[in-house]
Amino acid sequence: PKSYQVPVSVLPVISWTAEEAASYANIDYIHPNIKFAEDVSPPPVDKRDTNIVYLYKQDFIDGTYRIRETGTYILMEDIAFNFNPPSKATMNSPDFSPNSIDDDELYWFPTHAQDLNGDYPGLYSYAGSFSLGFFAGITVETDDVIINLNGYSMSMDPTFYLQQRYFTLIECGAKYFLPNQGPSNWQIAEEYYAAHLEIKGPGTLGLSSHHAIHGMRNEHLNIHDLDITNFEVAGIQCNGCNNVNIDSCTVGPQNTNIPVLGRYAHARAMLPRYKELNDDYGDKEITFYNRETTTISDLCQRIVDQMDMIYHNYINNIEYDEDDEEWIAAKKLFYNPSGWMDGGSSYGVVFNGDGAAVVGMGQRIKETSNIMMNNVEIYGIYNQVLEKIKVSINKVGASRLLLFDTIDWIAVTDSIEDGSTAQYIGDSYTDLIFAIKQNVDSWSYLNSLYLTESELQYVFEGNNADNNAFRGIWQGGSPAIN
């Protein structure tokens, strides 16, 4: 190979700043000749008193309202977010499929054009701020902003609430997670955490599938005179935030009429991947152990049909025969009989250290300070967690799926009383995970997917005395699996 000698002075700069490299690259050593870009952005001009923007329903027709300019934003009517829904004619059609993957566009998601032009990037490349769909009603992507509810309300439309399961009414930044955390690849591009942000009432923040207000790394956040209700995870959450004041707010009750379990959120978020799988491999056959051969297209259509049943039951009050095997399977996978939050997180207000508040509870406490709360009432917080066992194979790491969820092995196994005879029966969601594993090798598509040979043997070859696959999944068993 050829080698060249050039003066250090002509070396190109790296587009990251040194601070960004330290934050995200996990680099132990940086050569002294490496030159980083300098932050030469001009200081922002505070326009809260001069840039007054009035917000109407028409401002929220096409998707998330992205605040990128300092100013005061005032609601002029109640807002019910419902981005990119099907037309009324489509919804009134007798064969309407709300979760269809047959058309070019997916209902309630960013369009291809919105993704490609940068308005809402990430859904179809599986990398970007909107890679799980419209995650917020409003994002605040600049400093020095006032959001004034002006006596009005913001909430999700009931259909959008069911179909977009990762959502906050107001996101105090440009992304839902830090770029290197969470269930998707958010990318570093357009990363921003607002400072000097005021969210004020009077007004109501209502129905939301996750949060009313969510923020990360925010400085000087002032929230006051609000009624916050009908959230699923938290009324207010801020991770790694400093100088926060919450005053004269009522937070609660949490929504106790949640129609679906967390698996519906996973399946909706997977729809773009199901569409690509169906388009590219739909005719390909697949055979699970002790089951008839089917096609990948049939697997995709089965989960779409089951999700549609849940939708029509909740939105249109359609009743299905209780003996219908697909309705039984759909309810087992998606239906929430209690109406309470089935995940492990329910809060009125939560302040966490820098990073997502999903692991190591109480351990992430750094980079958060000067939190003031006055005259805040929190009530009606509920949770009925459904525990699922997560397995680690030979201590090399936990088996995990594309959205950092896990396989519910007990639910997809015929019996666990005797590990030597247990066999995989599957469900529409888990079947597709293994179909993806067999056919897709794209890193961006697979995201965090990690499955082991024992799991693949169990699903496709069956559990027998030669491979002992079921015990292999559980590292030799447990008191309940022998």
**pLDDT tens digits for range 147-181:** 999 999 999 999 999 999 999 999 999 998 887 77
Determine the distance from the C-alpha atom of residue 373 to the mean position of all C-alpha atoms in its chain, rounded to a whole number.
28
CA distance 122 to 231: 25
Q: How confident is the model at residue 276 (pLDDT cuts 50, 70, 90)?
A: very high
On the question of pLDDT at 9 being above 70, the answer is no
Residue 286 pairs in a beta bridge with 294
On the question of pLDDT at 428 being above 50, the answer is yes
Which helix or strand (DSSP H or E) is residue 20 part of? helix 18-24
Tokens of residue 304, six digits: 């779409």
On the question of pLDDT at 359 being above 70, the answer is no
Q: What is the pTM of this model?
A: 0.88
- pLDDT, one tens digit per residue, over 200-215 is 999 999 999 999 999 9
Nearest Cα residue to 96 out of 312, 296, 350: 312
In this prediction, residue 167 carries a pLDDT of 97
In this prediction, residue 392 carries a pLDDT of 64
Residue indicated by tokens 């995989």: 424
Which helix or strand (DSSP H or E) is residue 274 part of? helix 262-281
Q: How many CB atoms lie within 10 A of CB 178?
A: 21
Nearest Cα residue to 410 out of 338, 478, 325, 331: 478
Nearest Cα residue to 401 out of 358, 459, 360, 449: 449
Tokens of residue 157, six digits: 């439309």
Lowest mean pLDDT among 25-29, 92-96, 404-408: 25-29
Residue 205 pairs in a beta bridge with 154, 228
Residue 250 pairs in a beta bridge with 227, 377
Residue indicated by tokens 């007004």: 203
Mean predicted confidence (pLDDT) in 331-353:
92
Residue 392 pairs in a beta bridge with 398
Mean predicted confidence (pLDDT) in 445-453:
87
Exposure class string for 35-47: b at 16+ Cβ within 10 A, else e: ebeeeeeeeeeee
Contact by Cβ (8 Å): 137, 169 = yes
CA distance 297 to 279: 8
- pLDDT, one tens digit per residue, over 344-356 is 788 999 999 887 7
| pLDDT > 70 in the chain, percent | 90
CA distance 405 to 46: 42
Contact by Cβ (8 Å): 382, 341 = yes
In this prediction, residue 481 carries a pLDDT of 45
Exposure class string for 355-391: b at 16+ Cβ within 10 A, else e: bbbbeeeeebeeebeeeeeeebebeebeeeeeeeeeb
